[in-house]
Structure 1
Amino acid sequence: MLVGIGFDIHKHSENSELFLAGLKLDGSGFEAHSDGDIVLHALCDALLGAVGKKDIGYYFPSNSKTPENISSLKILEKVLSVIEYPSLKINNIDIIFISQVINVSKNRDKIIENLAKLLDINSSKINIKGKTTDNLGIIGN
């Protein structure tokens, strides 16, 4: 069994649209070169890590080579190609979403269903948990 761990963090921005797990949701999002979908970015890094590949910054650097505001769905599509999905079976996905600003619980079911659709796996194999840091440090802001 292969295991991958992914992590992503971006500064919250009142001027950005909110994308999570490939969905455009109500609320403000994150400063980023891409669409700032931190759920898909962390998932992509976990998938790449599980098979010993480099991180998404290698395939999509934050410079002029990568189109600004690129959809994280395009990033996921490339990552799935790199890891040779679907020959690689995904057993489960467990996501911890940390934000002092965004409450993920109101969109939890939508996020899980969309990830299940994107990866063609049963939604019972996906979990997402929302956490805050009680305003402690950069992760809490």
Structure 2
Amino acid sequence: MATKLRVGSGVDFHQLVEGRDFWLGGVKVPHIKGALGHSDADVLLHAICDALLGALGLGDIGLHFPDTSNEFKNIDSKILLARVMELIKKEGYQVVNVDSTLCLQAPKIKPYVPVMQQTIADILGVSVKEVSIKATTTEELGFVGREEGVVAYATALLEGC
């Protein structure tokens, strides 16, 4: 029998504001601004959730965890990713790998990438080598370059168990 593979992509945007913690990849990153959102606004985990859900045609993060629900107010996005993984397993799939890109002008995240990878890998049930996190600036162009917002893109590959 042929292996069943499914690929999904996700993208998320959040405004940056003063007075909020900055969560990226399940890690609190020191910065003068943080992402604004109903949950902890972890743009990277949200993009990964959307990639995983999209791979199986299960809608998006807003469908499963609406920002109109008090249940998800200020929720840790690691909990959302874990719940998405429950759905993936229920459908009979497992994660092969995730590739992601963060677009932000500041702060530099290189020192935090290994712990982000480990955090995500632990939730997804894969090795750290299967979680790629890259970052880029926009060379001070647009809302990202002006440090008004942050963007994350993710692609996930799933395999039927």
Q: Could you state the TM-score of these two structures normalised by the residue count of structure 2?
A: 0.80
In structure 1, how many angstroms separate the alpha carbons of the residues matched to 2:68 and 2:76?
Answer: 15
| Structure 1 residue aligned with 2:129 | 124
Structure 1 position 117, deviation (Å): 1.4
User: For this pair of structures, how many residues does the alignment match?
Assistant: 141
Cα shift readout 1:25-65 (whole Å, capped 9, x = no counterpart): 32242011100111110000000000011100111111145
**What percent identity do the matched residue pairs reach?**
35
Using CA pairs under 8 Å that are at least 6 residues apart, name the structure with larger relative contact order, 1 or 2: 2
Residue 6 (str. 1) matches residue 10 (str. 2): yes
Residue 112 (str. 1) matches residue 111 (str. 2): no
Q: Which runs of 5+ in 2 are unaligned?
A: 148-161
In structure 2, how many angstroms separate the alpha carbons of the residues matched to 1:47 and 1:64?
Answer: 22
In structure 2, how many angstroms separate the alpha carbons of the residues matched to 1:46 and 1:92?
Answer: 11
In structure 2, how many angstroms separate the alpha carbons of the residues matched to 1:67 and 1:111?
Answer: 22
Structure 1 position 86, deviation (Å): 8.7
Q: Which runs of 5+ in 1 are unaligned?
A: none
Greater strand content:
2
Structure 1 position 20, deviation (Å): 1.7
> Which deviates the most, 113-122 or 19-28?
19-28
AA of the residue aligned to 2:80: I
Bigger Rg, structure 1 or 2: 2
Cα shift readout 1:64-123 (whole Å, capped 9, x = no counterpart): 454321111221122122222694121111110100123221211111111111212111
AA of the residue aligned to 1:56: I
Q: Could you state the TM-score of these two structures normalised by the residue count of structure 1?
A: 0.90
User: What SS does structure 1 have at the residue aligned with 2:96?
Assistant: coil
